[in-house]
């Protein structure tokens, strides 16, 4: 890559540092405080208190601003959480060191040692007596005022985004807190966290196209998992009554502001419960997350306010269709008509079943209207091959989707426990595969055998963590909540 003049300047400054005997890549540095410790611990102190206490600190960070004024210089050092001002004066550090500092640039990482004080303008700062070079930044950083705006660059070079747009790091701190609180929630309820395979010989547990790979030693095709579901239920068969897993799923489908090919899924299963229990648990979980992270039972999402006060609305799938689709209720009785309508919405599809057609109409006309958290219950059995049928209506499944912010956040059901019925459902799916539906479920005989050993009544659920973070962090694109979203290599 061609070097620009500023890069050449920075390189020659680094050479000069070396000539001055400065260690360019030091091994270790002393540190008494983080920048955050200083800002949070001493901001409330008055000028006089600081002078009296003479707090000595050794702190490291990246130089993000420099204001040189002859024999004195102010600069800020920062990490992803906080920034603090440093005051450097020639009479304090000596002529030689002061001159050395002219070889430092915005972006360099240094350690400074000094006493805390307050400037005339009232900013908590470090009056430094010495500083240590830690790392050179060989490229100029984006502009201090606007930061890095180019979304493509922000995603491709997330480290740059984090350096110059510190508010972006808040999204990821929130994400981390959310996952940590999820673990706390389930652990307290006696769940155990488990890990199941991410490489499957038979990809299952969802309706989606998988990524395919090959294992050399075994000489077999393997697939990156599209869901952990079937393995987690095997663990229920094995006697673990409450399990959860938080990890990546991989789906070889389109990319959009709501879809990344790899995404983080929370799945949890509880023996001796059903989908109604899962609804209560879900409300409890997300309400808890909101209260413990945001301190509120409400989140702002775009133009909307989402209330997380319990209980949340429960609405039958078909009722939601009638209420939001704008299609006359009587038309839903006409199966052929519904299929025809759905086909016009998805020109790529050649044929559809009634249940699939309803699902398409739901996604198209209903989902985006559901901003407040809503459990859409009793989805068509046809599109739910792993769920128990409803007692009252054999065409419906004991299944719900949680929709909020116009997005599907969770999907849960009373797990199908009857091995013979599971086998029939798989066979139906196999028929659909034959007809060209690449996302239809495979037949997993080992899973059926696991069911034959006896799966107790079980409720299970998956929650899309990335989308939940989107809502909590008020971001409209999934790429804003994933450090390194998938982009085409340049």
Partner RNA sequence: GGCCCGUUAGCUCAACUGGUAGAGCAGCGGACUCUUAAUCCGCAGGUUGAAGGUUCAAGUCCUUCACGGGUCACCA
For residues 272-308, b (16+ Cβ closer than 10 Å) or e, as one string? ebbbbebbebbbebbbbbbeebeeeeebebeeeebbb
Nearer residue to RNA within complex by CB, 30 or 68: 68
- Judged by CB under 7 A, the number of residues near RNA is 82
Q: Does 117 bind RNA (CB under 7 A)?
A: yes
Nearer residue to RNA within complex by CB, 256 or 449: 256
Q: Does 145 bind RNA (CB under 7 A)?
A: yes
Q: Does 369 bind RNA (CB under 7 A)?
A: no
- Shortest spacing between CB 252 and RNA, in angstroms: 9
DSSP SS3 for 125: strand
Count of CB atoms situated within 10 Å of the CB of 267: 25
The Cα 257–Cα 172 span in angstroms is: 17
Site for RNA in 17-46 (CB under 7 A): none
Per-residue CA distances from 468 to 301, 335, 372, 402 (Å): 11, 35, 13, 11
Nearer residue to RNA within complex by CB, 164 or 271: 164
- Shortest spacing between CB 132 and RNA, in angstroms: 20
Among 109, 182, 206, 279, binds RNA (CB under 7 A): 206
The Cα 479–Cα 251 span in angstroms is: 16
Nearer residue to RNA within complex by CB, 31 or 95: 95
Among 44, 347, 350, 434, binds RNA (CB under 7 A): 347
Contact segment (CB under 7 A) with RNA among 266-274, 320-328, 451-459, 480-488 equals 480-488
Please name the residues in contact with 472: beta carbons below 8 A apart, sequence gap of 6 or more.
Answer: 174, 178, 289, 290, 293, 294, 299
Of the candidates 477, 319, 344, 311, the one whose C-alpha atom is nearest the C-alpha of residue 405 is 477
Nearer residue to RNA within complex by CB, 30 or 144: 144
Encoded tokens for 49: 């208190």
Site for RNA in 270-329 (CB under 7 A): none
Of the candidates 159, 172, 37, 151, the one whose C-alpha atom is nearest the C-alpha of residue 109 is 159
Please name the residues in contact with 149: beta carbons below 8 A apart, sequence gap of 6 or more.
Answer: none
Task: Give 38: exposed, middle or buried? Use CB within 10 Å, 0-12, 13-18, 19+.
Answer: buried
Q: Does 96 bind RNA (CB under 7 A)?
A: no
Site string for RNA, 448-477 (x = CB under 7 A): --------------x-x-----------xx
The Cα 409–Cα 407 span in angstroms is: 6
Among 411, 414, 422, 429, binds RNA (CB under 7 A): 411
Nearer residue to RNA within complex by CB, 322 or 345: 345
Among 24, 151, 199, 291, binds RNA (CB under 7 A): 151
Q: Does 66 bind RNA (CB under 7 A)?
A: yes
Nearer residue to RNA within complex by CB, 89 or 316: 89
Q: Does 89 bind RNA (CB under 7 A)?
A: yes
Q: Does 483 bind RNA (CB under 7 A)?
A: no
Contact segment (CB under 7 A) with RNA among 70-78, 297-305, 443-451, 452-460 equals 70-78
Among 1, 5, 190, 214, binds RNA (CB under 7 A): 5
Count of CB atoms situated within 10 Å of the CB of 198: 15
Q: Does 259 bind RNA (CB under 7 A)?
A: yes
Count of CB atoms situated within 10 Å of the CB of 166: 17
Torsion (CA) 269, 273, 274, 275 in degrees, nearest 10 = -60
Q: Does 152 bind RNA (CB under 7 A)?
A: yes
Q: Does 487 bind RNA (CB under 7 A)?
A: yes
Among 140, 166, 261, 406, binds RNA (CB under 7 A): 140
Q: Check: CB of residue 332 under 8 Å from CB of residue 317.
A: no
- Shortest spacing between CB 386 and RNA, in angstroms: 9
Q: Does 349 bind RNA (CB under 7 A)?
A: yes
Nearer residue to RNA within complex by CB, 33 or 399: 399
């Amino acid at each position: 890559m061609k070097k620009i003049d500023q890069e050449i300047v920075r390189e020659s400054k680094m050479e000069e540092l070396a000539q001055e005997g400065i260690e360019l890549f030091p091994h270790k540095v002393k540190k008494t405080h983080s920048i955050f410790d200083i800002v949070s611990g001493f901001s409330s102190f008055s000028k006089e208190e600081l002078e009296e206490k003479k707090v000595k600190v050794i702190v490291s960070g990246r130089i993000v601003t420099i204001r040189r004024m002859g024999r004195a210089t102010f600069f800020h050092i920062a990490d992803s959480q906080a920034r603090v001002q440093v005051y450097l004066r020639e009479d304090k550090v000596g002529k030689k060191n002061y001159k050395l500092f002219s070889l430092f640039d915005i972006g360099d990482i240094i350690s400074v040692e000094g006493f805390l004080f307050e400037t005339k303008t009232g900013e908590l700062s470090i009056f430094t007596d010495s500083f240590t070079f830690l790392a050179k930044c060989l490229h100029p950083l984006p502009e201090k005022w606007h930061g890095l705006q180019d979304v493509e660059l922000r995603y491709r070079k997330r480290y740059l985004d984090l350096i110059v747009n510190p508010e972006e790091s808040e999204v990821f701190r929130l994400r981390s807190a959310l996952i940590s609180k999820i673990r706390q929630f389930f652990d307290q309820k006696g769940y155990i966290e488990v890990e199941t395979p991410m490489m499957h010989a038979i990809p299952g547990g969802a309706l989606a196209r998988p990524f395919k790979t090959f294992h050399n030693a075994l000489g077999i095709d393997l697939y990156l998992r599209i869901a952990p579901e079937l393995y987690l239920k095997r663990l229920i068969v094995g006697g673990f009554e409450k399990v959860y897993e938080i990890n990546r799923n991989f789906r070889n489908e389109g990319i959009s502001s709501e879809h990344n090919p790899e995404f983080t899924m929370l799945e949890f299963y509880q023996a001796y419960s059903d989908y109604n229990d899962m609804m209560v648990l879900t409300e409890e979980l997300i309400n808890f997350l909101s209260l413990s992270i945001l301190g509120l039972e409400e989140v702002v999402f775009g133009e909307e306010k989402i209330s997380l006060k319990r209980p949340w609305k429960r609405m039958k799938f078909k009722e939601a269709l009638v209420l939001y689709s704008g299609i006359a209720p009587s038309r839903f009785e006409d199966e052929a008509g519904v299929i025809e309508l759905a086909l016009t919405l998805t020109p790529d599809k050649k044929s559809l079943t009634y249940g699939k057609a309803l699902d398409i109409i739901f996604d198209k006309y209903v989902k985006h209207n559901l901003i407040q958290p809503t459990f859409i219950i009793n989805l068509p059995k046809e599109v739910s091959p792993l769920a128990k049928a409803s007692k009252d209506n054999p065409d419906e499944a004991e299944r719900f989707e949680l929709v909020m912010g116009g997005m599907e956040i969770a999907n849960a059901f009373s797990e199908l426990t009857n091995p013979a019925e599971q086998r029939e459902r798989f066979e139906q799916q196999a028929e659909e595969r034959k007809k060209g539906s690449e996302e239809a479920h495979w037949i997993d005989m080992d899973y059926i055998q696991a069911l034959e050993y006896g799966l107790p009544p079980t409720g299970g659920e998956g929650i899309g963590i990335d989308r939940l973070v989107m809502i909590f962090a008020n971001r409209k694109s999934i790429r804003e909540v994933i450090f390194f979203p998938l982009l085409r290599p340049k």
